Amino acid sequence: MANNSQKTSKIIKPAVILCRIVVGLTFLFSGFVKGVDPVGVAIKLKEYFVALGIDFLSPSSPLGSDFVATFSLTAAVALSLFEFVLGFAILFGSYRKLAPTLALITMLVMTPLTLYLAIENPVHDCGCFGEAVVLSNWQTFYKNLVLTAASIFLLLYNHKAVALYAKQMRSVPTLFSAIFLLSISVVSYMYQPILDFRPYKSGTNIREAMQQSDAQPEYIFIYEKDGEEREFAIDEIPMNDTLWRFVDRIERLPEGVKINETLDFYIYDNDTEISEDILMDENYSFMVLVPSIKDYDNSWDDKILSLYDYAFEHSYNFFVLTPESEEFSVRMNEMGISLPCYTMDETVIETIARGNPAIAMMKDGILYWKIAARDLIDITNYNTDIEGTPLAKIEEYNVNRRYIILATIYILPLIFLYLCQKAVAHFVEKARVRRRKLFATKRRESKTSCETEQQNITTNITEDSDNTNYKPKNFKTMRKNIVAGNWKMNKTLQEGVELAKGVETALNERTPNCDVIIGTPFIHLATIAATVDTKKLGVSAENCADKVSGAYTGEVSAAMVASTGAEYVILGHSERRAYYGETAEILKEKVLLALANNLKVIFCIGEVLEEREAGKEFEVVKAQIEESLFNLTAEDWNKIILAYEPVWAIGTGKTATAEQAQEMHAFIRKTVAEKYGEEVAEATSILYGGSCKPSNAKELFANKDVDGGLIGGASLDVEQFMGIVDAF
């Protein structure tokens, strides 16, 4: 069985990583290509609003076209940001529950929508990868099915693989991803898309591309006979063989012509098409692109008019392209300017260049450059011929180089952050080890007998009569913070191994500020101690016998526990005291045997409700410590961890308040100090136990004498347990 579960996890982990790559990269790419061209995505969204009959976002919306434009642009940026950051989180395993949940919600909305698009075909491509990759609506639907399945899988098993960035620092790369995406969106909006996936890239020979896209599609006929489908050209149709049954007719473009290369560069002067003349013209043609007169930004008119003067002076062509050429001419005439205005489709204008107005330059059918009007250089600097000026240069557009630059800008800081995380973890661990060694040396030096130390108490302790005011000299510098789980009688062997591995995996993703221990039933001990790295995750038994060995059927000795590789044993738990009659005397024996076998003891103490109500809690706790532990030497005490567990708070959901816990912990430390001296008391970790949860752990652990927790119920769930570990 254990083998089976190991095998399963061997399959699940690579599957999780594969799903992270598939879903994460898809979202990341989808967000990126949208972020690169927010205006293009906004145009696509407007198409959707019309196709889906969303009236208040249609061009004739009562809210006005400005509202629709702003809404579409904001939605485009928000969508790309959401997809990109989600893609990052999924790819690198951050936010392991939230990220697949959001991915799944997205897919549950998108998949039925794309099924509708595939069936009804109201828009011919969904635009999910902007204009970078054009998928048919059916392809998009199948892609979404795969992503939905992978998101469900991640939702179930994402915790099986580690995250690249620890929980404490994951917000930094997440924020960086958001800033990166927003920056490219802003730059692409202000200037032109950093990556141009449209057919009108600078350097394109529009004339040649038009000739290609004018190519007529070939009709292919599909017939079926005896279960076999075959394609026929129109003149090959098997008319004479009636067994062939017609199935479908498809259109296919000639080889080498891709559908997204189709150009609609049609220009009209009134009703006459003049595209050919313009495309054939060997002179320089400056084109002012105005997709809509209403939104036309006239702040750049001076620059445009100086360009016009320059073109006029040097006999270059200069004209305006707009869907509303007549209105534009009238407007210009009113301003005393006479510019040739030709008609072109709004979408084509917007596809050529972003900006209203934008300027483009063409010669001999080749598109030299295109810019938003605000980026037009000051032409008054060039009173010479255009040759030799930047205006006569074809803008260099190397898509691969741009991809590499953008990927470097994004990936290098992520690598840097990862290395920082590793370095910090390394130094923290080193510092911790150094501190422990230092303390061990100090203890060895100052080791004296219990009696001598007791004499020191009077001189060492600075105390008030009030228990809460015990004042240690070096608060929390000498002792360890510990979070220890107590699984009690829960989990089969296989479930226990899974849980332990889950805790270990989660620990590997963080640099906890405390030691972490899991207390397991005997049956799990050997397997778990051999499975996990016990240097990172301590393993504890929940009990051991009060006898060395022999005819004690059903008992497990301290030596047996130690032989499994476990380092700790929980003793004196209230459930053992109450249900198995463990007295102070029995516990004293167990502690001695545990220590003799080199086990560290997590010793539980705590009062029942009636004792607290009778105001006897300090008396009871003190007696529990004195009767089972105060026979130990100061050196032995080194291996004792105390766990104050008010019995009324165990498994009841009732937690001691932070003040109650601190008051009792200070009292316990004072009691230890009175016996062993301040330094020993200072070095003793005192844990709190009793309905400790992620929600109250921080408040409890913030107290100066609370050094962690012994956790029952919440230790049976990785997330909850880690929530408590993270409280430090």
Please give the residue ranges that form the binding site for ligand PEP (CB under 6 A): 486, 645, 650-651, 689-692, 710-714
Give helix then strand counts, H and E, for the chain: 25, 18
Instruction: Tell me if 662 sits within 8 A of 704, measured CB to CB.
Output: yes
Residue keyed to tokens 């879903």: 23
> Running DSSP on this structure, what letter comes out for residue 205?
B
Q: Could you tell me the smallest distance in angstroms from the CB atom of residue 633 to ligand PEP?
A: 27
Q: With contact defined as beta carbons under 8 Å apart, do 304 and 382 qualify?
A: no
Quote the tokens at residue 44: 């696509």
Q: In what order do the strands lie in the sheet with 272-273?
A: 272-273, 268-269, 341-343, 317-322, 284-289, 358-363, 366-372
- Give the active site residue among 509, 573, 575, 679: 573
Q: Give residue number: closest CB to ligand PEP.
A: 712
Judged by beta carbon, residue 287 or residue 711, the one nearer ligand PEP is 711
Q: Which is nearer to ligand PEP, 324 or 645 (CB)?
A: 645
**How many angstroms from the chain centroid is the CA of residue 648?**
40
Conformation bin of residue 512: beta by default, left when phi > 0, alpha when psi is -120 to 50: beta
From 280, 288, 285, select the one nearest 362 (Cα to Cα): 285
Task: Examine residue 173 and say whether the peptide bond preceding it is cis (omega within 30 degrees of 0).
Answer: no
> How far is 681 from 666, CA to CA, in rounded Å?
10
Residue 565 CA, chain-centre distance (Å), reads 37
Min CB(593)–ligand PEP separation in Å: 21
β-bridge mates for residue 710, sequence order: 484, 689
To the nearest whole angstrom, how small is the minimum distance from the Cβ of residue 688 to ligand PEP? 8
Say whether 573 is catalytic.
Answer: yes
Identify which of residues 372 and 483 has a Cβ nearer to ligand PEP in the complex: 483
> 416, 572, 357: which is closest to 486 by C-alpha?
572
Beta bridge partners of residue 326, listed in sequence order: none
Closest separation in Å from C-beta 570 to ligand PEP: 8
Q: Which is nearer to ligand PEP, 390 or 651 (CB)?
A: 651
* Least spacing, CB of residue 690 vs ligand PEP, in Å: 5
Sheet holding 228-233, edge to edge: 228-233, 218-225, 245-252
Q: Cα-flanking dihedrals φ and ψ of residue 14, to 5°? A: -60, -35
CB nearer ligand PEP, residue 528 or residue 604 = 604
Q: Please say whether the beta carbons of 60 and 46 come within 8 A.
A: no
| Contact call for residues 530 and 497 (beta carbons, < 8 A) | no
Asked whether 503 and 540 are in contact (CB, 8 A), the reply is no
Nearer to ligand PEP, 322 or 691 (CB): 691
Distance of closest approach, residue 508 Cβ to ligand PEP, in angstroms: 24
- Nearer to ligand PEP by C-beta: 161 or 686? 686
Report the nearest approach of ligand PEP to the CB of residue 721 (Å): 10
User: Which residues are catalytically annotated?
Assistant: 573, 645
